[in-house]
Amino acid sequence: MLDLINVSYDTQIPNNVGLSQDKKVLKALEKWHPGYINWWNDLIPDDFQKSLVYLRTAVSVDPKGWAKFDYVKMPEYRWGILLAPEVEDRRIPFGEHAGEKAWQEIPGEYRSMLRRLVVIQGDTEPASVEQQRFLGLTAPSLYDLRNLFQVNVEEGRHLWAMVYLLQKYFGRDGREEADDLLRRNSGSEEAPRMLGAFNEETPDWLSFFMFTYFTDRDGRMQLESLAQSGFDPLSRTCRFMLTEEAHHMFVGETGVGRVIQATVDAMQKAGITDPYDINKIRDLGVIDLPTMQKKLNLHYTLSLDLFGGEVSTNAANAFNAGIKGRFQELKIDDDHKLHGATYPVSQVVNGVIQKVDAPALTAVNMRLRDDYVKDAAGGVGRWNRALKKAGVEFQFEMPHEAFNRQIGAFAGVPADPSGEIISQEAWDAKRNEWLPTKEDGAFIQSLMQPCYEPGQYASWISAPKVGIDNKPGDFEYVQLHMA
């Protein structure tokens, strides 16, 4: 009987899925492995490949004690294939198959739909590593450098998770898709990543923190809805991935919070009370709050686009099939089939944004996005409470869903951050007040100087309240090997 809790290290690929007895899949994964290592080695600057990084590694899928911390060189990190323990007699919780026994194999009629969902999820994982590949060269501390690399190796492990599903359940098609996951590249003109937000640059650490707060939160919502899946191996894979994803959002929320804290501290020390006195604040070597708001506007709206169209027959089909559910499906008080149900969706009606009732089945994306907005508002509220406590008269706001959208009902609609539709000329004239400019980017880049002394931090970010694994403030999270 397989040990579904502890991780086996008896093959090249750590796992709790019995790979040593599944020779065909093991051989396919071992064949894929060198290409993955080449991809990794091409991405991370060579000096960091040789450095020892204090990383957590999964040794179990028991939520109470699933990871251990130790120094490791990143190319030697043991990426593995880990599924949450099987739930005995698990039933499909939604759709036309609700109440039926969860599938251990893929029903033929849903094969292509499932493959596409697995490929899209898999494609986002290496994309974010590609987007963040140069950030180590400008890390504001060893603590932040370590967090970057922890996020990177776990995104790599999440790629392995999807590749395992492709190799085991999708035959030759799956093997070809797994190879394509290494062929595509973020921002490439010839072979870009599949979703727009994952082809954007992550040029600085504020962008990284906003990405891990807003865009990784979209990842969490997608994983939550896939964790409801009637295809049990996908459900179990996503349930364990969610354990790791929580740290990525922690890095984002606390990272932005620490940037805010450094700015507030510098303003108070200099006797500056006006948060819009941008030049004076920038002269202090910190990032002004209005520029942070612009970054928030950008990353939040890019993340909204990841949910797709508000009304979607593809989403309806996936729900009906029992393949992809809603956020925390089992906590929703309805029939889980959505027969005759409606859900309010925002649309432009006669030049005005209005809520209209749409069939709940086709509005599954909209509901998931609404859940995301509520979830994302929590951290923004905590940033604002910190500002209020410090006596700074500034509050961050999440812009209206119609602002700066490229996908869905508001694609190309010239709406301001409050949701008012304006002329395209007015939007163009105000753009630089709402979204980061080249000048903003150049200023932030000017601050991006590495700080590699243990316990030291760049001027624009404050120290964390607590160290990773409760380590002291001067702990050497990365033992650098610099040429």
Count the Cβ atoms, other than its own, within 10 Å of residue 431: 12
Is 194 in contact with 123 (CB distance < 8 Å)? yes
Mean per-residue pLDDT, 50-73: 87
In a domain, 464, yes or no: yes
Least confident segment among 52-66, 82-96, 197-211, 220-234: 52-66
Distance from C-alpha of 462 to C-alpha of 259, rounded to nearest angstrom? 6
Count the Cβ atoms, other than its own, within 10 Å of residue 17: 23
Q: What percent of the chain shows pLDDT beyond 90?
A: 90
Is 141 in contact with 209 (CB distance < 8 Å)? no
Identify which of 315, 313, 316, 303 has the alpha carbon closest to the alpha carbon of residue 406: 303
Identify which of 295, 474, 323, 307 has the alpha carbon closest to the alpha carbon of residue 405: 307
DSSP state of 68: E
Distance from C-alpha of 297 to C-alpha of 306, rounded to nearest angstrom? 15
The continuous run of DSSP H or E covering 269 comes out as helix 232-270
Q: Which pair of structure tokens corresponds to residue 132?
A: 């963040």
Question: Is it the case that residue 10 has pLDDT exceeding 90?
Answer: no
In a domain, 301, yes or no: yes
Distance from C-alpha of 255 to C-alpha of 287, rounded to nearest angstrom? 13
Is 118 in contact with 165 (CB distance < 8 Å)? yes
Task: Write out pLDDT tens, residues 340-394.
Answer: 999 999 999 988 999 999 999 999 999 999 999 999 999 999 999 999 999 999 9
Q: 335 vs 228, 267, 330, 360, CA distance in Å?
A: 15, 54, 10, 12
Task: Write out pLDDT tens, residues 18-43.
Answer: 999 999 999 999 999 999 999 999 88
Distance from C-alpha of 264 to C-alpha of 386, rounded to nearest angstrom? 9
In a domain, 6, yes or no: no
The continuous run of DSSP H or E covering 343 comes out as strand 342-349
| Residue 38, helix vs strand vs coil | helix
Identify which of 37, 129, 45, 43 has the alpha carbon closest to the alpha carbon of residue 79: 37
Mean per-residue pLDDT, 119-140: 96
Query: What angle, rounded to 10 degrees, do the helices at 171-183 and 111-131 form?
Result: 20
Distance from C-alpha of 399 to C-alpha of 24, rounded to nearest angstrom? 50
State the first-to-last Cα distance of the chain, in angstroms, to the nearest integer. 49
Distance from C-alpha of 252 to C-alpha of 212, rounded to nearest angstrom? 5
Domain limits at 458? 19-479
Predicted confidence at residue 132, as pLDDT, reads: 95
Distance from C-alpha of 176 to C-alpha of 4, rounded to nearest angstrom? 28
Distance of CA 67 to the CA centre of its chain: 20
Distance of CA 125 to the CA centre of its chain: 8
pLDDT band of 5, cuts 50, 70, 90:
low
In a domain, 1, yes or no: no
Predicted confidence at residue 4, as pLDDT, reads: 56
Q: 86 vs 138, 207, 415, CA distance in Å?
A: 43, 38, 47
Radius of gyration of the chain (CA): 23
Please provide residue 8's backbone torsions phi and psi, each rounded to the nearest 5 degrees: -90, 135
Distance from C-alpha of 348 to C-alpha of 346, rounded to nearest angstrom? 7
Identify which of 358, 357, 363 has the alpha carbon closest to the alpha carbon of residue 316: 363
| Residue 162, helix vs strand vs coil | helix
Task: Write out pLDDT tens, residues 64-96.
Answer: 777 899 999 999 999 989 999 999 999 999 999
Length of the chain: 483
Is 75 in contact with 34 (CB distance < 8 Å)? no
In a domain, 9, yes or no: no
Q: What is the mean pLDDT of the chain?
A: 95
Number of domains in the chain: 1
Please provide residue 132's backbone torsions phi and psi, each rounded to the nearest 5 degrees: -105, 15
The continuous run of DSSP H or E covering 70 comes out as strand 67-73
Beta bridge partners of 358: 343
CATH of the domain at 133: 1.10.620.20
Predicted confidence at residue 335, as pLDDT, reads: 96
pLDDT band of 100, cuts 50, 70, 90:
very high
Task: Write out pLDDT tens, residues 261-306.
Answer: 999 999 999 999 999 999 999 999 999 999 999 999 999 999 999 9
In a domain, 7, yes or no: no
In a domain, 4, yes or no: no
For 355-378, b where at least 16 C-beta lie within 10 A, e where not — what string?
A: eeebbbbbbbbbbbbbbbeebbee
In a domain, 5, yes or no: no
Please provide residue 356's backbone torsions phi and psi, each rounded to the nearest 5 degrees: -130, 150
The answer to whether the Cα torsion of 455, 461, 462, 468 is positive or negative is negative
In terms of Cβ atoms closer than 10 Å to its own Cβ (0-12, 13-18, 19+), residue 11 is middle
Question: Is it the case that residue 1 has pLDDT exceeding 50?
Answer: no
